[in-house]
Amino acid sequence: MESHADHGTGGNCLTEGEAGYGNEDFLSRVDNWDEIEDVDQPEIYHGTSIVVRGRRIAVAAERGEDLVDVLRRLVPDHRELLLADEVELRRRIPEIMRLDQWHHPDLLQDTPPSQSTTFRQVADVLTTGDVSRYAPDMPPNTHWFNWPESENL
């Protein structure tokens, strides 16, 4: 397997464009923000169905709830609508390895990513292109349910 780090771009394996993030790199899935956000408090659910990629989804939520909590409830049943599809993902980024779950270090407990086995292995995979170098030794903890206060950081 070819090493993506050897493309002469200083480790940047983007297939087009420059490193960084411009507006074209952000994907908005919700089509009706103006209907679901409270005008005075955009983080608060205004109360109506949510349109995701043209599909209207009824939500079991009350007006006045935190919008982030309402949107999280969509994930179990509508995950594929919310995530980037393969065309969107591959527009600029080649796939080396895909992780939907992993063990994330608790930064509040002073465990920097550089000391995390997971992140060291991922860095090794990205450097070498050898996916066999990722061998998790701890159970995944990245489901949003494990991090209920994450939006408050």
pLDDT single digits (tens) 28-85: 889 999 999 988 998 999 989 999 999 999 999 999 999 999 999 999 999 999 988 8
Please give the sequence-ordered ranges of beta strands (E in DSSP) within the chain, or none if there are none: 50-52, 55-57
Taking the domains of the chain in order of start, what are their residue ranges?
Answer: 4-13+90-152, 28-83
| C-alpha closest to that of 94 among 121, 131, 142 | 131
How far apart, in whole angstroms, are the C-alpha atoms of residue 136 and residue 124? 13
Distance from C-alpha of 115 to C-alpha of 139, rounded to nearest angstrom: 16
Asked whether residue 122 carries a pLDDT value surpassing 90, the answer given is yes
Give the pLDDT of residue 150.
62
pLDDT at residue number 149? 66
pLDDT one-digit tens code per residue, 81-109: 998 888 888 887 888 998 989 998 887 77
